[in-house]
Amino acid sequence: MKKPFYITTTLPYVNAEPHMGHALEFVRADIVARWKTLSGFEVFFNTGTDEHGQKLFKSAEKAGKDVKAYVDESAANFKKILPLLGVSEDVHFIRTTDAHHEGAAQEFWKRVEKNGYIYKKNYRSRYCVGCEETKTESELVEGKCPIHPHLEIETIDEENYFFRFSAFGDRLLALYDKKGHSIVPEFRMNEMREFIKRGLEDFSISRLKSKMSWGVPVPGDDSHVMYVWFDALVNYISTLGWPEDTAKFDMFWKNGTPTQYCGKDNTRFQSVMWQAMLLAADLPPTHTVVVNGFVTGDGGVKMSKSLGNVVNPVDVVREYGTDALRYFVAREIGSFEDSPFTMERFKLAYNTNLANGLGNLVSRVMKMATTHIESPVSVAEAEAPKEYLKAMDSFDIQAASNVVWKAIAEADGLIQEKAPFKLVKTDKAAAVEVISDLVSRVYGIGILLKPILPMVSESILALVRAHKMPEAPLFLRKE
């Protein structure tokens, strides 16, 4: 029986068009899902859309549309981008307006409440609609949210339900200490430790329905709806059929290694709040949270429409192809740090490393093979380079991609050193041996690219197969 592996992206909030940050997360999670499948795991890959909250209600109102019609249209925009990005066809797409998810969110609430971690009180706070989160005065800059300075900060003065977050500081630190939950990279784990040590404060998890009508009703109190992210986080388990489908939940969550991808601004929600919520509901924690940096404009400036530095991933794919974007996301953007995406950088990387690098190598080698080799080339069984295995297993996709391009550079170096296209004139047997070695190397490169650039990989392998090369063992991991 195959080992289970579960991976999910953060659900994008559907109040805007898909952007490069979404593409980054979709592609990287897909690379991991493909890698785990190739490594012999039974994979459950989840993504979807986060569709509740006052921000969406207001956006629909501004657009003059019914809110359900608005989120249906927005969710469709996100769903249709997945095949454009080469995301696996078997990905599960969940919407937080799905009836099953809403029921699961309510069941989750009931369990947390039954265990004594939800209570009701009056409070006054400052609230950013953009973040869907309350803000302390110290988090505001000149009275505005630093992330959404264009939005007015609202003042909330009402009775809400609260989650006893303050009860989980020691339990979370103990969970981290015993490796029951990990964050990649490690420095993000250290940030969350420090956040917890400063003291956790209970937080509001509901709003009055009269003030925020678009949300999941609070069980037993229809005058309140859940905060958007409290219900949205539950998608990580509702997508597995929880609470009814215990077999699938036990397989992929309880007995597996559930892994979540998120942006660095979401780490607190994923690795602290969500883990505390799971503890409160007597459910197992997430095994690993992988944290990406931001995709920025040139010079590290945040992408924004007002600055004119936003790059639409759909436009890039339509002009250059799916795997061109996947290459940039995999290799040219740091695995865990902020990295810029500009069309200038993209075009340079595309021409240098794809067209003139990988493309030129494959073309030259297969032309020499077709011209000078009559018998099929055989490939001995081999395992992927250890540094490739280590990088993929630690979610360092950039490092894994660098291993592949190192192999490309080494093959290019062999051509320059041996010059088989010249050697064939004086010593054909020696030239054929070199060209056969190069074909074998190209085959290995094609295999290593399977999770990263699946379409390019298949094209390379098809060229090799067209040379009547027999199917060879995959260059993966020997168990």
Closest alpha carbon to 17 in 74, 58, 56 = 74
* Residue pair 190/153 in contact by the 8 Å Cβ criterion: no
With DSSP H G I counted as helix, E B as strand and the rest as coil, what are the percentages for the chain, rounded to 5? 50, 15, 30
Among 311, 286, 307, 160, which Cα is nearest to 235's?
286
Q: Which two tokens stand for residue 138?
A: 């110290």
- Decide: helix, strand or coil at residue 98: coil
Q: Which residues contact 450 (CB under 8 A, 6 or more apart)?
A: 34, 38, 457
| Token pair belonging to 6 | 């579960």
Degrees to nearest 5, angle at CA 129 with 126 and 132: 90
Does the CA dihedral 73-292-400-390 come out positive or negative? negative
CA 9, CA 77: separation in Å to the nearest integer? 16
Which residues are identified as catalytic?
19, 22, 128, 131, 145, 148, 302, 305
